[in-house]
Amino acid sequence: MKLLKNIWTGSSGKKLLWSSVGMLVFGAVVMTSFFGLIEVNSDASLDTTTFYTAETVKDYLEMQGPEGRRGYLMIHAFDYVFLVFLFLFLTRTITCLGRRIDGDRLRFILVFPLIYAIFDLIENISIDISILIFPSQLPVIPHLMGYFTLIKMSAVYVSFAFIVFLGIASLFNKR
């Protein structure tokens, strides 16, 4: 896949540093200060639940109430930016560690951060649509949303597991 090859060959330690700083600053400063300004029921967050059903979507959106649903849309505006930072961090970290170990053969691992980004985007759009049309529901999207989240979360976990593995392997690599 050409995109993965371009990421693999275009990443550097400097770009990794910038994406890491960007993600940390964005996460620590922007997101945390913003969360205190809006009213969202944290017990009814679809983004942080690993898997849920269409009934859960309806229940959570009901629990949020009008202010919580508006706040959720505002949070998603930032979540779209955060997913870019996290995608860049994951791909650049995997690339920098992977190239130290085995040149180009490990670039297939970049498919996991790509899967994360695609499914996080799909999940966010699905949640936003569900909020905007609430209390109505589309016939299919709420049934698929839990799978989008499950795939997203699994891809993130696998990406971080590869980072840990590559980090440990690079310590023992004599290359």
In the prediction, which pLDDT does 7 show? 63
Per-residue pLDDT band at 39 (split at 50, 70, 90): low
CA–CA separation, 50 and 145 (whole Å):
11
| pLDDT tens string 121-162 | 999 999 999 999 998 988 888 889 999 999 999 999 999 999
pLDDT higher than threshold 90 for residue 99:
no
Tell me the percentage of the chain whose pLDDT exceeds 90. 29
pLDDT higher than threshold 70 for residue 21:
yes
Range of 39-43, 72-76, 85-89, 113-117 with top mean pLDDT = 113-117
First and final C-alpha spacing in the chain? 26
| pLDDT tens string 48-81 | 778 888 888 888 889 888 888 888 888 888 889 8
In the prediction, which pLDDT does 163 show? 93
Instruction: Provide mean pLDDT across the span 35-44.
Output: 65
Tell me the percentage of the chain whose pLDDT exceeds 70. 81
Burial of 90 (0-12, 13-18, 19+ CB in 10 A): buried
Question: Residue 80 to residues 26, 74, 77, 122: CA-CA distances in angstroms?
Answer: 12, 10, 6, 11
Tokens 């960007």 — which residue?
22
Q: Which long-range contacts (CB under 8 A, 24 or more apart) does 49-55 make?
A: 49/149, 50/149, 50/150, 50/153, 51/146, 51/147, 51/149, 51/150, 52/145, 52/146, 52/149, 53/143, 53/146, 54/137, 54/142, 54/143, 54/145, 54/146
**What's the whole-number average pLDDT of the chain?**
83
**Closest to 83 in 3D by CA, of 2, 23, 42, 150:** 23
pLDDT higher than threshold 80 for residue 42:
no
Instruction: Provide mean pLDDT across the span 83-92.
Output: 89
Burial of 28 (0-12, 13-18, 19+ CB in 10 A): exposed
pTM of the full structure: 0.82
| DSSP one-letter code for 146 | H
**Which residues fall within 8 angstroms of residue 132, CB to CB, at 6 or more apart?**
73
| DSSP one-letter code for 60 | H
